[in-house]
Amino acid sequence: MTHHVILGGGPAGMNAIESIRRVDGSARITLVADESPYARMALPYFIAGDVPAGHLATASEAFFEKGKVELQIGRRATAIDARAHRVDLDDGRSLRYDRLLIATGSSPASPPIPGADAPGVQSLWTLADARTLLERKTSKHPTAVLVGGGFIGLIVLNALHKMGWRLHVVELEGQILPRMLDRRAAAAAEGWLRDRAIGVHTGASVTAIDGTRKKEITLSDDTRIEADLVILSTGIRPNLDLTSGADIETRGGLVVDGHCRTSAPDVYAAGDVAAGPDLLGGPNAVHAIQTTAVDHGRVAGAHMAGAETAYAGSLLMNVLDLAGLHCTSFGRWQGDAETTEVWAPERPVYRKLVWEADRLVGAIALGPVRDSTMTTDVGMIKGLIQAQRPLGRWKSYLHKHPWDVRRAFVASGCAAHLLPHTALGTRAVPRGFAYRDRKPRVSPGSHHADLVGTRPPGFESLPKTPTPGIYKNPT
């Protein structure tokens, strides 16, 4: 009987378990995880009161019993001997495997700031972190400083904004969200935050954190901020310590092929620790996002169980609600490529399409919810990038009508091209676990009218052609 050992109970590990079981109903599966599986990405919604603690769980005892999964919860792997097909655990025991999946995720980076290890200074990475944060809310409108203005930090900021916290964000680079938005989009987002009384300090670092119950934060420009809580969100690092002696090829993450196999025999990797194929080509890359972890896990698990699966690669993408301003970016939005841009600063609304010949390879869309995410064309922009189909004359159409993505999406055949494609090459099925076995709601929600309407209310006033001077011809 083949023995599969899964290290990590995040989205990559859990989806791998389900893929293995769908292919092989009798294989032995062992899960090693330091916590009971839950949705880390839902923690900001938990602290904002949108999601109760019970809904964070991504598995249950009944789920594992049904899937015949042997559990090593509360345990960590400490070493891998790839030649001996053995994993050592932190309690002194060892597990022998036939196939091993490393899905150990990532951890928050710790900045070298004096006072960063004191009470009242923390990350938001675990459920324990979230509960500690909630305990610091001892007044109606406490103050928090977010150290780091990247994607993770601003997700936390959005949750605290919903709770009525007074907020500041400090970012070392010259703009917030430097790996998600270009300068124009970031400036719009910064203005949006300042209009909501949120302090934005860019091009600055934290030089010291002092105080006990009340914290005093000193910035490199001598600004001082008093706060009840300091949240560190200065980046993440893949959890690769386990593999340091395992002789596995590493370039930022464990390098994997289209089957999520590493360079070591019978060792796979998935999620934040894996540097996998990029959908748009080029070198392997770590895409530390939920969708990539899910796809990696599905592909790795199926191939471990003997299915012939192949992964085309992941697409870098980010979607963020920033106090009511929705920010999205897909693919290769940086650089000097040919672009189509529209900028309506009074709303603010910004759209940028990035081209290679007549293929769409990147995009940014920013605006209030009714002008951005709640229009279905944002998803279609993502589809156009994923499909990588030549758009021919529809490229010129999008230059002239950048708000009308739907016609180009349908007429170019992107929908028909994408529909047959799934991570495993077979019909997608829902996850096997649901909270208290509840069925998904199928009735239309409150945003249904926005999604199916030709244009949401107020959308008609947006420019129908790019603002003069914004459209860029290729150089």
> Which pLDDT belongs to residue 137?
86
Residue 79: is it exposed, middle or buried by C-beta count within 10 angstroms (0-12/13-18/19+)? middle
Helices and strands in the chain: count of H runs, count of E runs: 12, 25
Are residues 32 and 95 in contact, defined by beta-carbon separation less than 8 angstroms?
Answer: yes
Residues 77, 182, single domain; the answer is: no
Are residues 263 and 315 in contact, defined by beta-carbon separation less than 8 angstroms?
Answer: no
pLDDT confidence band for 450 (50 / 70 / 90): low
| Mean pLDDT computed over every residue of the chain | 91
Q: What is the mean pLDDT of residues 76-90?
A: 96
Residues 271, 141, single domain; the answer is: no
Residues 130, 229, single domain; the answer is: yes
CA 436 remoteness from chain centre:
26
In terms of pLDDT, which residue wins out, 422 or 123? 123
**Is 445 inside a domain boundary?**
no
- Beta strands 121-122; 229-232: pairing state: parallel
Q: Can you tell me the distance from the alpha carbon of 101 to that of 398, in angstroms, rounded to the nearest whole number?
A: 43
CA angle 49, 54, 60 (to 5 degrees): 155
> Which pLDDT belongs to residue 446?
72
pLDDT confidence band for 459 (50 / 70 / 90): very low
**Is 309 inside a domain boundary?**
no
Question: CA-CA distances (angstroms) from residue 182 to 87, 280, 364, 366, 452?
Answer: 44, 19, 8, 11, 30
DSSP H helices, 219-341, are 290-304
Question: CA-CA distances (angstroms) from residue 84 to 80, 81, 254, 267, 467?
Answer: 9, 5, 19, 12, 63
In terms of pLDDT, which residue wins out, 134 or 455? 134
Residue 472: is it exposed, middle or buried by C-beta count within 10 angstroms (0-12/13-18/19+)? middle
What pTM did the predictor assign?
A: 0.91
pLDDT confidence band for 403 (50 / 70 / 90): confident
Question: Residue holding tokens 């109903």?
Answer: 25
Residues 331, 389, single domain; the answer is: yes
pLDDT one-digit tens code per residue, 19-30: 999 999 999 999
CA angle 363, 184, 402 (to 5 degrees): 40
Residues 174, 83, single domain; the answer is: no
pLDDT at 451 over 80: no
Residues 103, 244, single domain; the answer is: yes
What b-and-e string marks burial along 60-72, b requiring 16 or more CB atoms within 10 Å of the CB? beebbeebebebb
pLDDT at 395 over 80: yes
**Is 438 inside a domain boundary?**
no
Residue 357, C-beta contacts closer than 8 angstroms, at least 6 positions apart: 390
CATH classification at residue 38: 3.50.50.60
User: 386: domain range?
Assistant: 318-420+453-461
pLDDT at 375 over 70: no
Question: CA-CA distances (angstroms) from residue 59 to 20, 99, 294, 299, 431?
Answer: 16, 22, 15, 20, 10
**Is 113 inside a domain boundary?**
no
Residue 189, C-beta contacts closer than 8 angstroms, at least 6 positions apart: 176, 177, 181, 322, 325, 327, 366
Are residues 280 and 261 in contact, defined by beta-carbon separation less than 8 angstroms?
Answer: no
CATH classification at residue 337: 3.30.390.30
Residues 151, 81, single domain; the answer is: no
**Domain termination residue (choose one: 181, 216, 234):** 234
Residues 126, 230, single domain; the answer is: yes
pLDDT one-digit tens code per residue, 88-111: 999 999 999 999 999 999 999 989
**Is 436 inside a domain boundary?**
no
pLDDT confidence band for 463 (50 / 70 / 90): very low
Q: What is the mean pLDDT of residues 153-177?
A: 97
Residues 457, 332, single domain; the answer is: yes
Q: Look at the alpha carbons of 189, 193, 195, 196 in this order and tell me if their dihedral is positive or negative.
A: positive
Q: What is the mean pLDDT of residues 345-363?
A: 95
Residues 130, 227, single domain; the answer is: yes
pLDDT one-digit tens code per residue, 218-273: 999 999 999 999 999 999 999 999 998 889 999 999 999 999 999 999 999 999 99
Number of C-beta neighbours around residue 401 at 10 A: 15
pLDDT at 454 over 70: no
Are residues 285 and 158 in contact, defined by beta-carbon separation less than 8 angstroms?
Answer: no
Q: What is the mean pLDDT of residues 326-348?
A: 94
Sheet containing 229-232: give its strands across: 121-122, 229-232, 143-147, 166-171, 199-202
> Which pLDDT belongs to residue 431?
83
**Is 270 inside a domain boundary?**
yes
**Domain termination residue (choose one: 215, 234, 253):** 234
Percent of the chain with pLDDT over 70: 93
pLDDT confidence band for 321 (50 / 70 / 90): very high
pLDDT confidence band for 471 (50 / 70 / 90): very low
Q: What is the mean pLDDT of residues 159-168?
A: 96
Local structure of 112: helix, strand or coil? coil
Q: What is the mean pLDDT of residues 369-380?
A: 78
Q: To the nearest 10°, report the CA torsion of 417, 422, 424, 430.
A: -150
Question: What amino acid occupies position 195?
Answer: D
Residues 129, 278, single domain; the answer is: no
> Which pLDDT belongs to residue 233?
96
DSSP 48-98: TTSS-GGGGBS--HHHHHHTTEEEEET--EEEEETTTTEEEETTS-EEE-S
Q: Can you tell me the distance from the alpha carbon of 60 to that of 57, in angstroms, rounded to the nearest whole number?
A: 7
Residues 188, 227, single domain; the answer is: yes
Highest mean pLDDT among 171-180, 426-435, 453-462: 171-180
pLDDT at 462 over 50: no
**Is 343 inside a domain boundary?**
yes
Q: What is the mean pLDDT of residues 330-343?
A: 93
pLDDT at 387 over 50: yes
Q: Can you tell me the distance from the alpha carbon of 375 to that of 453, in angstroms, rounded to the nearest whole number?
A: 9
Q: What is the mean pLDDT of residues 390-402?
A: 93
pLDDT confidence band for 157 (50 / 70 / 90): very high
**Is 468 inside a domain boundary?**
no
**Domain termination residue (choose one: 260, 280, 304):** 304
The total of structural domains in the chain comes to 3
Q: Can you tell me the distance from the alpha carbon of 161 to that of 324, in angstroms, rounded to the nearest whole number?
A: 10
